[in-house]
């Protein structure tokens, strides 16, 4: 598979965090998030995600924020919470996760290419 085909197998979409709360059952501090990925049929509706991003973000700061999420990696149960999408980020100089986000408002569910 060439690199372009490999990249195209990953489905990344723009979403908005509509709800965020601490996952009290997690061993490492993390959040339970609900991400709106747009209205079907183009969008995917609201999906859940778990993320260890408490170092740089409060639950209040995250609510309403646009994010990039990988949506076709399958789901996992993390500390009793079903995580359906992976919110994307990169580490800063000390390893804390910095979220990837669009620079401007764009339609929810828009595909990253």
Residues whose CB falls within 8 Å of the CB of residue 12, separated by 6 or more in sequence, listed in order? 68, 69, 70, 71, 88, 111, 112
- Predicted confidence at residue 4, as pLDDT, reads 86
Residue 106 is assigned to a structural domain of this protein: no
Give the residue from 74, 68, 58 showing the smallest Cα distance to 89: 68
3-state secondary structure (DSSP) of residue 63: coil
Domain count, the chain: 1
pLDDT of residue 112: 95
Domain assignment present for residue 5? The answer is no
CATH number at residue 89: 2.40.50.140
Asked whether residue 111 is domain-assigned, the answer is no
pLDDT tens for each residue of 9-40:
999 999 999 999 999 999 999 999 999 999 99
In this prediction the pTM is: 0.94
Domain that holds residue 93: 12-99
What's the chain's length in residues? 113
Q: Is 6 contained in some domain? A: no
Q: Is residue 2 part of a domain?
A: no
Banded model confidence at residue 8, pLDDT cuts 50, 70, 90: confident
In a domain, 66, yes or no: yes
Q: Is the pLDDT of residue 5 over 90?
A: no
């Amino acid at each position: 598979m060439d690199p372009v085909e490999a990249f195209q197998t990953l489905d990344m979409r723009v979403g908005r965090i509509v709800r965020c709360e601490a996952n009290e059952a997690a061993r490492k501090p993390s959040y339970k998030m609900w991400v709106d990925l747009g209205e079907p049929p183009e969008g995917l509706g609201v999906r859940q995600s778990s993320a260890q991003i408490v170092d740089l973000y409060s639950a209040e700061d995250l609510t309403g924020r646009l994010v990039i999420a990988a949506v076709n990696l399958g789901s996992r149960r993390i500390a009793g919470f079903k995580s359906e999408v992976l919110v994307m980020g990169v580490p800063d100089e000390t390893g804390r996760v910095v979220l990837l986000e669009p620079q401007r408002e764009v339609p929810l569910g828009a595909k990253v290419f």
